[in-house]
Amino acid sequence: MDKTFAARRRRDLIIAAALAGLAALAPLVIKDVYVQNILILTLMYAALSQSWNILSGYCGQISLGHALYFGIGAYTTELLFTKFGVLPWFGMLAGGVIAAVIAMGLGYPFFRLRGHYFVIATIVIAEIGLLLFQNWEWAGAAMGITIPVRGDSWLKFQFMRSKLPYFYFALALCCLAWFVTWWLEDSKWGFWWRAVKDNPEAAESLGVVVFNSKMGAAAVSAFLVALGGAFYAQFLAYIDPESVMGFQFSLLMALPAVLGGIGTLWGPVLGAAILIPMTELTRSYIGGSGRGVDLIVYGALIVAISLALPQGLVSLFSRSKAKGATR
């Protein structure tokens, strides 16, 4: 059993390394800026969904308010940069820490809620955060913040001539979120989270501190999502509350994991690889002729897949393995 377990862990690492290597070579083949932009967004949302999956997939605390942490990462980075000249790299870390602290602060009352009450609470607090930033004059209020262009530089994390640096950072962020999930999945934290998700009362009777387990998941998830928000702000070079804290971001973090397989290692990556390109392409080719048609298209696809494969697209691979084993 131990050999099988270790072999699976090694296999996942090898597959991840191979996919990361192939992705790193993609810009050598794909020169179209629009397609590169789609690839960047796909990698970013894969990282965000993987991060969301830590709390909502493994720990079972479904959140539809993660846009709050995304926005905190974006605003912390850009306010420190534009107001005080702090480099974005330090702003990213500061945003991640602030988001993690806020997530734990919110977790203190929220983790006492169960089921749909918790989901509703996360939506409400994210909307409150959105309203606060829309009326916070020092942070630009509804007009937002335009990030001053100071030349292409890794130090200031700004690139106007090429999108490739953003692509490679998004790839690194995706790899980081995947590796953190891989590492935690089979650690004591991962076992605690799955126990809490399956049966909190039974987990507590076995010595698992349910509340602390949820707080740990929330902190890690929020920190990684805030890094994604900081990256997105630098990528756009402009932010306003709706563009980084809107409800659509919470949905687009959750949907890839739901599509690919919630609570799985590969589900968010697989879901993002399908959903985000489809979203961008339908928005480009259909969105102009009929507002909202793009949302209907991929919404219908998600419903169809959810009905046919409740465990997500990754269940197709487990089924094929099971069939191969019986032959």
Tell me, what's the pLDDT at 321?
Answer: 53
Handedness of CA 108, 219, 200, 60 (dihedral sign): positive
**Distance between CA atoms of residues 215 and 218, nearest Å:** 5
Tell me, what's the pLDDT at 319?
Answer: 53
**Distance between CA atoms of residues 203 and 201, nearest Å:** 5
At 263, list the tokens.
């609570």
**Distance between CA atoms of residues 242 and 130, nearest Å:** 7
Asked if residues 305 and 78 have their Cβ atoms less than 8 Å apart, the reply is no
Q: Is 99 a domain residue?
A: yes
Residue 187 φ/ψ, nearest 5 degrees: -90, 180
Q: Is 264 a domain residue?
A: no
At 208, list the tokens.
């698992």
Alpha carbon 25 to chain centroid distance? Answer: 23
Tell me, what's the pLDDT at 225?
Answer: 99
**Distance between CA atoms of residues 306 and 296, nearest Å:** 15
Q: Is 18 a domain residue?
A: yes
Which single residue is written with the structure tokens 């790899």?
Answer: 175
- Provide the domain count of the chain: 1
pLDDT tens for each residue of the chain, 327 residues long: 467 778 889 999 999 999 999 999 999 999 999 999 999 999 999 999 999 999 999 999 999 999 999 999 999 999 999 999 999 999 999 999 999 999 999 999 999 998 899 999 999 999 999 999 999 999 999 999 999 888 889 999 999 888 999 999 999 999 999 999 999 998 999 999 999 999 999 999 989 999 999 999 999 999 999 999 999 999 999 999 999 999 989 999 999 999 999 999 999 999 999 999 988 888 777 755 555 666 677 678 778 877 888 788 898 876 555 455 444
Which structural domain range is residue 80 located in? 2-246
Tell me, what's the pLDDT at 119?
Answer: 96
Q: Is 257 a domain residue?
A: no
Tell me, what's the pLDDT at 283?
Answer: 78
Tell me, what's the pLDDT at 279?
Answer: 85
Q: Is 207 a domain residue?
A: yes
Which single residue is written with the structure tokens 């099988």?
Answer: 4
Closest CA to 234 of 89, 128, 48, 58: 89
pTM: 0.94
Q: Is 208 a domain residue?
A: yes
